[in-house]
Structure 1
Amino acid sequence: MALSSQFLQHNVWSNSEFRRTLSVPPLLKANHEPVKKLSQRKLKIRGIKNKSNSLVTFSMLNPESGTSMSAVSPSDTIKKFYSSINNKDMNQLALLLAENCFYDDFSYSQPFQRREEALKFLEQLATCMGKNTEYCIEHIYEGVDLTIVVNWHLEWNKKQVPFTRGCSCYELSRDGEELVIR
């Protein structure tokens, strides 16, 4: 559980080159120079509302075809990820993580590298959460190249815990027909 003054955030990145100093989008300049537009693409955004928990998913659509860029939904993979943590289903969680995943939680000084380290951490996290605490997804944003951003908060006995909102970034990759978190 986090202290009330902490902002919970974690990132899963595909390689160790992404560090906290590079977690800010590369288009933002520290010296306040104007940001140059590299290219302009016309994007269509699709919003889906799930009435059971007011989850809103935004995904990028291919402007040329009007269809989703992936047959398997990245947002479904992320929903399974959080559901696996909430249900303490480590077998399902292991299937969702790539062998070479890179899990960077800013509450810790070092990232968790590879599936074994990430699973060990997530198992400890799920155990510490107990049976009454769970992640509640507020929004899922799907980007290009199988990237996802999730806004979430923690709930205890179906009530939001104060100061436990977070934003997590994920990269996914294909493993056969399945999508896995890198």
Structure 2
Amino acid sequence: MTMMTSSHHLQFDFRSRPHCPPFRGIRVLENPKSISSFSTLLSFVFCSNSSPVICGGLHRSQFPRWLCGVSQSKATSESNVSTAASLGLPTASEVIRDFYDGINRRDLDSVELLIGVECVYEDLIFSKPFVGRKATMEFFKKFTESISSELQFVIDEISSEDTSSAGVTWHLEWRGRPFPFSKGCSFYRLEQSEGTRKIIYARDCVEPAVKPGAAALAIISTVCWLLQRFPQLAERL
């Protein structure tokens, strides 16, 4: 590691960790005297993603945010999660995991507890959304009755930093094996209600069984040409 100092900034070149590529030009636009000691400062090793590895058992909250490389938006998100935890509320990702677990177990009573009274549920294979908890639960009832209990949702990835919304990618499995044409992604928005978080909006996008490929681009191009020539057609969309 090399370090250059001046009256206005510090510049570091860290090469001490073999698994971390060199990270040059970390510029601290603060008075170096604001740090209690350089030995404390040097207890950090910065990797290429600007995230510090704290070697002395000290938490990043003990140092200025500019030193820890935490952006304001991320800090706000972490603050929201911390606030939710202090109130005993589940996070958005926890609610969504419970939602899929309830569907997989065909336990609609537990699922209903996670749905807001005015929930709007859009499954894009249907022409209209299901509006309200009653309509949404009727849809779930028909869905679970029409497929085998051995067909299960498996979450591939789920966002976890936001307390009020979550995005999910998922697929279906039959007896532990991937089911054909069953990949999907969903978005959920939640709000605090009755001492917990409930789903108030959802949108499901499911993998189509028929995949037009490049033909879809030709169809879109044709529709755009028609709308340009006959703009009145847009009123019928």
- TM superposition score category, shorter chain reference: 0.5 to 0.7
User: How far does residue 70 in structure 1 lie from its aligned partner after superposition?
Assistant: 2.1
* Cα distance in 2 between the residues matched to 1:66 and 1:132: 38
User: 1:70 is matched with which residue?
Assistant: 84
User: How far does residue 129 in structure 1 lie from its aligned partner after superposition?
Assistant: 2.1
RMSD (Å), alpha carbons: 2.1
Other structure's SS at 1:98 match: strand
Give the % identical residues.
29
Other structure's SS at 1:81 match: helix
User: How far does residue 66 in structure 1 lie from its aligned partner after superposition?
Assistant: 8.9
After superposition, residues 1-150 of structure 1 pair within 5 angstroms as 41-43=72-74, 61-62=77-78, 65=79, 68-71=82-85, 72-142=90-160, 144=162, 146-150=164-168
Runs of 4+ in 1 over 3 A off after TM superposition: 65-69, 142-145
User: How far does residue 152 in structure 1 lie from its aligned partner after superposition?
Assistant: 0.4
* Cα distance in 2 between the residues matched to 1:67 and 1:83: 22
Other structure's SS at 2:139 match: helix
* Cα distance in 2 between the residues matched to 1:115 and 1:161: 29
User: 1:11 is matched with which residue?
Assistant: none
Larger of the two Rg values belongs to structure? 2
- In the comparison of the two structures, how many residue pairs are matched? 126
- Give the letter for the 2:188 counterpart: Y
Specify whether residues 145 and 83 from structure 1 end up closer, same or farther in structure 2 by C-alpha distance, changes over 3 A only: closer
CA displacement 1:133-164 (0-9 Å, x = unmatched): 01001111135460110110000011111221
Gaps (5+ residues) in structure 1? 1-39, 45-59
* Cα distance in 2 between the residues matched to 1:109 and 1:143: 32
Specify whether residues 67 and 106 from structure 1 end up closer, same or farther in structure 2 by C-alpha distance, changes over 3 A only: closer
Gaps (5+ residues) in structure 2? 1-70, 201-237
Structure 1 residue 163 corresponds to structure 2 residue 181: yes
Q: Which has the higher helix share?
A: 2
* Cα distance in 2 between the residues matched to 1:93 and 1:145: 19
**Does the CA-based 8 Å contact 2:158-2:167 persist in structure 1?**
yes
Other structure's SS at 1:163 match: coil
Specify whether residues 67 and 88 from structure 1 end up closer, same or farther in structure 2 by C-alpha distance, changes over 3 A only: closer
User: 1:21 is matched with which residue?
Assistant: none
* Cα distance in 2 between the residues matched to 1:101 and 1:78: 14
* Cα distance in 2 between the residues matched to 1:134 and 1:67: 29
User: 1:176 is matched with which residue?
Assistant: 194
TM-score by length of 2: 0.49
User: How far does residue 67 in structure 1 lie from its aligned partner after superposition?
Assistant: 5.2
